[in-house]
Structure 1
Amino acid sequence: MSAADERMRRWRLVLGGGPADGTGVGLEGVDARMDAALAAVYDQGGEGGGGGDRRQGGLGASAPRVARWLGDIRTYFPSTVVQVMQKDAIEKLNLTRLLLEPEMLEAVEPDVHLVGTLLALNKVMPDQARESARALVRRVVAELERRLAQKTRAAVSGALDRSARTHRPKRVADIDWDRTIRANLKNYLPDRNTVVPSRLVGYARRQRSVQREVVLCIDQSGSMAASVVYSSVFGAVLASMRSLRTSLVVFDTAVVDLTDQLHDPVEVLFGTQLGGGTDINRAVAYCQGLITRPANSIFVLVSDLYEGGIRQEMLRRVAAMTQAGVQVIVLLALSDEGAPFYDHDNAAALAAMGVPAFACTPDAFPDLMAAAIERRDITQWAERHLAR
């Protein structure tokens, strides 16, 4: 096939066929089956090869038909494309209820967005589908832990070590020679070709006790589903580190403390209830009570900041935490999608009191925690992160 023919073939698959697409290309074999799979979600009529100006889905409400379609797309497309098509099918064709069928859960490609959908259905899920759903969620969580756990532990451990520096190291082995030399370059003696260290920089002896308190406060409204999934994984990883005392709190109009389940992020996820209203003020008030050492505490609020509670009280509580020495960070999202819709007035009010509010990707979160532990300027960190 020539390069020109291949381009026309690709355009035919994109445009969906019909006299208006202008390609004049017919499809056979695998191409025809790929086209039918795409048409089921994106083309008018949903039967493949359909034309028309308006695109709408056509899988219908048949679980067997959807299961076959899921099998087809996994055959013809890479997993990243499969996940996008699944998400579009669920949203465009209202297939949510079909996810309660065990055979459907066994056919889908697991991803974070699918987990969010399942968690929203948790309370209405029949018993025969619950175990399949748990297995799927566990697969996603295991993959996220594989991707993120080591990086998080390394970043946090390194930050704790760096934050424990001292100018009076007790042993020669505790001296950080690289930083000591850098700190004393002004004392360089050219005639002797050496640096005279007037100030030592070293490591304090490693502490076995808790060095930082971390409180993750997670908005579990429906729009925050992906953030809830990632937060549960990070919460479990941080809770496994002895130098940290980690708490995880989720909220809507009520507040639920899931700290005692952090050993198993799957249990954490099934302890959430996506959807409903939002009372940030009540959640912040509860989290204030968890903090015992403000100067050594990090409070991370993950929320779109749409407050259904008492706004001014919420802002006063955050201000009081920062004045007490708590490192307060507000994440509008903890996901790969970037910033969602959020309350700009509340974000601006927080920024005015020195509390940055921004979206953070999961891959950047370990470095964010390291910056917080070292008490770096989080606003500057966020500006550099967003500029990348």
Structure 2
Amino acid sequence: VEVLEGLDREWEARAQQVFYAATPPSFFEPIASQLGATGLAAQRTRARMVVEKPLGHDLLSARAINAALARSFEEKQIFRIDHYLGKETTQNILAFRFANPMFEPIWDRRYVEFVTISVAESLGVERRAVYYEQAGALRDMVQNHLLQLLCLVAMEPPVNFDADEIRNKKLDVMRAIRPIHHDQVAEVAARGQYGQGWIDGQRVPGYRQEEGVANDSPVETFAAMRLSLDNWRWQGVPFYLRTGKRMGARLSEVVIQFRSVPHRTFPPNASLEWRPARLRLSLQPYEGIVLEFMAKQPGLSMVLRPVEMRFDYAEAFTGPSPSAYETLLYDVMENDSTLFMRADQVEAAWSVLMPVLDVWRASYPTEFPDYPAGSWGPHSASMPLVRDGYTWPPPMKVRPNGRG
């Protein structure tokens, strides 16, 4: 306290005070408590508490963390950081939807057949085995990153860009997610664990051979889910989420697949390559937006073939983009919580996943490992889509220069 007060005197200004807890969640409560005891948290307009994921291990622990933080800080002082929300391409989902009049009128159940959200990594657990053995893919990625992407895609138009207005609309999406009953888990969720395989021409070990991992570990390195939203906009439109390590490529994208035309006017031989219209919101490694549709191939005959229209960040904007953490830390200093999760959002996300976590914890996965490194996950990953008559959209091919 004396040091901070001395800096205020030296600078002749009352500086903003940011307390960044990049620690395991077990330290959040004592850190917040000590900051409260010293009176630093009481400076409501300039003291902020930043906490990193994981924000708990389950719903009960998340509630305990939120309660511990609330004992010293007001909600407006707490910044729960998720670096995915700071990515330029993630923020652009809101700009794409609500700054342009062309797509929002067809952004609903009348025209959208289904939505997929994929976050795939070619890396393994690297040096995070101790953490990952306690987390797994569902906790590590779905509870935060993928559900936040779902909210951005599915939320209603905000009245303004006020932080709580945006977060209220995202919370509405969470509350609209149809609860999963324990006896439905096998139908709507799938898990997997990578075994030995090949990545970029190199042999890589399976998860159970990684340093720090138990040789009979039941922890999933892949998770997929089918979610339904019970509201007017999205009733009947399935949302498929998947994430995994040691996958066939590094990929983060949202794919909107539109419904087919009600009647194909063209003769069968004109549309042998028929594909559904899709919109890809690509977050990484390629950063851009791709619209896939059918067009006539040049020639005397009526022959249709799939084509693409692309928006490429690297081509459209030549200036450097700030990193996700640059954006988020700047927002903390500006006291702008738009891109940060509120306590009720965190708890709502855990509520969605708890039935799946409960069932998976109670049943040992005898089939692990069930997908080789370098593949696109276990066979069971496709089952939530196959039951509905769909397949995962093929990954977009990325050129050597990193562009789509």
Fold similarity call, TM over 0.5 = no
Over alpha carbons, which structure has the higher Rg? 1
| Higher helix content, 1 or 2 | 1
| Higher strand content, 1 or 2 | 2
Larger RCO, structures 1/2 (Cα 8 Å, 6+ apart)? 2
Q: TM-score, normalised by structure 2?
A: 0.30
